[in-house]
């Protein structure tokens, strides 16, 4: 019932609501001994995240090594599940989470309109983040980014036979060989489905749905199905999990299609009713630090907006990839259509 009500609310706010008048962003803040002491007195921060659990836990370990005495409770789920959980909790007066992060930018526009976010701007974000990758009112900022990519097993598919474009996936030779994630669970795939439906049309997905594709939920799962050899080709999956598998020696290659590759941005924010507000403020600033962002790149394979991050030499830089960007304001009213069409064409 709540999900239906929220979908209606999203549609209404996306189409009919006039923009609210927001205050200017608060002054940037730095991590001070006083903030650290207040955070340690609380002793805990709760992090709702859509980042792969291994990456999120590694980040938590780094935080605890820098700030001993503060536990990090990582609650990982797909972006749409995180969104639903926050909505359910806040609509019933339950406030469990301190810091949240998903890969669906629409979520943060909605949370902002609801007044559920605590505006704050870490100094690192104010000084180094591109203006279009942070909320002008200081409610959230882009903590990470990654691409939704095609990838294949080189031991199960020759390079010459691998797809080069999204349209190639419709070739009968790929039937029964593919795995893809679901836009109803994954914010990455919601973004990807939207931009590709705009680019290629819904008839493309109707044809793709006839290819007998293995359907999974999170964008973290298709790379894992490749790693296990259950499928030779992934239709969509997050780039960072593929990077990690390649680093582990798995025989996988990424395809950046000629038409372009969808970019998913993972925003982060502190909730207004955070039960541990000082620990939340400290953890939020930590997320944008060079140490955290470099870990995300090295271990997690994530893309970063921090200019100090050094990417591994064997990874294709974003400057050499044709990127497909998504506009959250245009995506939001299309969510019901995306979910309905997906169910119709893929049966799930």
User: How many residues make up the chain in this entry?
Assistant: 348
Average pLDDT score over residue span 176-180: 97
What 3-state class would DSSP assign to 253? Answer: strand
Q: How many whole angstroms separate alpha carbon 199 and alpha carbon 330?
A: 14
Nearest to 185 by CA among 323, 344, 338, 15: 338
Is pLDDT above 60 for 11? no
- CA 182, 184, 187 angle in degrees (round to 5)? 80
Q: Specify whether domain 147-263+320-346 bears CATH 3.40.190.10.
A: yes
* Domains in the chain: boundaries: 2-14+22-145+265-310, 147-263+320-346
The helix or strand, by DSSP H or E, that contains position 48, with its residue range, turns out to be: strand 44-49
Confidence of residue 23 (pLDDT cuts 50, 70, 90): low
Tell me the per-residue pLDDT of 36-93, one tens digit each, with 9 for 90 and over.
999 999 999 999 999 989 999 999 999 999 999 999 999 999 888 999 999 999 999 9
Asked if residues 192 and 264 have their Cβ atoms less than 8 Å apart, the reply is yes
Both structure tokens of 238: 């997050």
Confidence of residue 319 (pLDDT cuts 50, 70, 90): confident
Nearest to 220 by CA among 275, 180, 269: 180
Strand pairing partners for 255? 150
**Order of strands across the sheet with 150-153?**
214-215, 178-180, 233-234, 150-153, 252-255
User: Of 1-15, 132-146, 239-253, where does mean pLDDT reach its minimum?
Assistant: 1-15
Tell me the per-residue pLDDT of 208-245, one tens digit each, with 9 for 90 and over.
999 999 999 999 999 999 999 999 999 999 998 999 89
For helices 290-298 and 53-66, angle between their N-to-C axes, nearest 10 degrees = 150
Nearest to 205 by CA among 183, 173, 232, 187: 183
The helix or strand, by DSSP H or E, that contains position 335, with its residue range, turns out to be: helix 335-346
pLDDT, position 9 = 41
Q: How many whole angstroms separate alpha carbon 259 and alpha carbon 197?
A: 12
Asked if residues 179 and 235 have their Cβ atoms less than 8 Å apart, the reply is yes
Q: How many whole angstroms separate alpha carbon 129 and alpha carbon 269?
A: 15
Question: What residues have CB less than 8 Å from 236, skipping those under 6 apart?
Answer: 148, 149, 150, 180, 181, 188, 189, 192, 219, 222, 262
Asked if residues 146 and 264 have their Cβ atoms less than 8 Å apart, the reply is yes
User: Of 18-22, 100-104, 237-241, where does mean pLDDT reach its minimum?
Assistant: 18-22
The chain-wide mean pLDDT, for the chain, equals: 91
pLDDT, position 21 = 42
pTM listed for this prediction: 0.82
Q: Which listed CATH number (3.30.70.1350, 3.40.190.10, 3.40.50.2030, 3.70.10.10) goes with 2-14+22-145+265-310?
A: 3.40.190.10
Is pLDDT above 60 for 22? no
Nearest to 341 by CA among 199, 190, 222: 190
């Amino acid at each position: 019932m709540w999900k239906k009500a929220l979908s209606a609310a999203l549609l209404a706010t996306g189409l009919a609501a006039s923009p609210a008048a927001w205050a200017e962003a608060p002054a940037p803040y730095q991590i001070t001994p006083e903030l650290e002491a207040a955070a340690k007195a609380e002793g805990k921060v709760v992090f709702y995240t859509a980042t792969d659990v291994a990456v999120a836990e590694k980040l938590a370990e780094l935080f605890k090594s820098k700030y001993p005495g503060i536990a990090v409770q990582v609650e990982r789920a797909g972006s749409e599940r995180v969104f639903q959980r926050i909505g359910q909790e806040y609509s019933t007066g339950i406030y469990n989470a301190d810091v949240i992060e998903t890969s669906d930018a629409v979520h943060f526009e909605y949370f902002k309109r609801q007044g559920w976010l605590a505006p704050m701007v870490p100094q690192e974000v104010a000084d180094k983040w591109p203006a279009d990758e942070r909320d002008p009112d200081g409610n959230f900022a882009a903590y990470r980014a990654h691409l939704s990519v095609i990838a294949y097993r080189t031991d199960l598919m020759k390079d010459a036979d691998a797809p080069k474009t999204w349209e190639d996936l419709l070739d009968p030779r790929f039937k029964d060989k593919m795995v893809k994630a679901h836009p109803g669970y994954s914010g990455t795939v919601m973004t990807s489905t939207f931009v590709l439906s705009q680019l290629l049309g819904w008839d493309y997905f109707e044809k793709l749905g006839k290819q007998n594709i293995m359907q999974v939920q999170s964008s973290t799962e298709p790379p894992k199905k490749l790693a296990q050899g259950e499928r030779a080709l992934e239709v969509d999956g997050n780039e960072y999990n593929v990077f990690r598998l390649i680093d582990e020696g798995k025989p996988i290659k990424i395809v950046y299609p000629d038409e372009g590759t969808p970019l998913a941005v993972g925003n982060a924010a502190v909730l207004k009713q955070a039960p541990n507000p000082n620990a939340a403020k400290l953890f939020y600033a930590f997320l944008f630090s060079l140490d955290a962002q470099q870990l995300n790149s090295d271990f997690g394979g994530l893309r970063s907006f921090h200019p100090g991050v050094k990417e591994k030499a064997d990874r294709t830089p974003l400057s050499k990839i044709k990127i497909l960007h998504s506009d959250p304001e245009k995506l939001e009213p299309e969510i019901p259509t995306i979910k309905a069409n997906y169910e119709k064409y893929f049966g799930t």
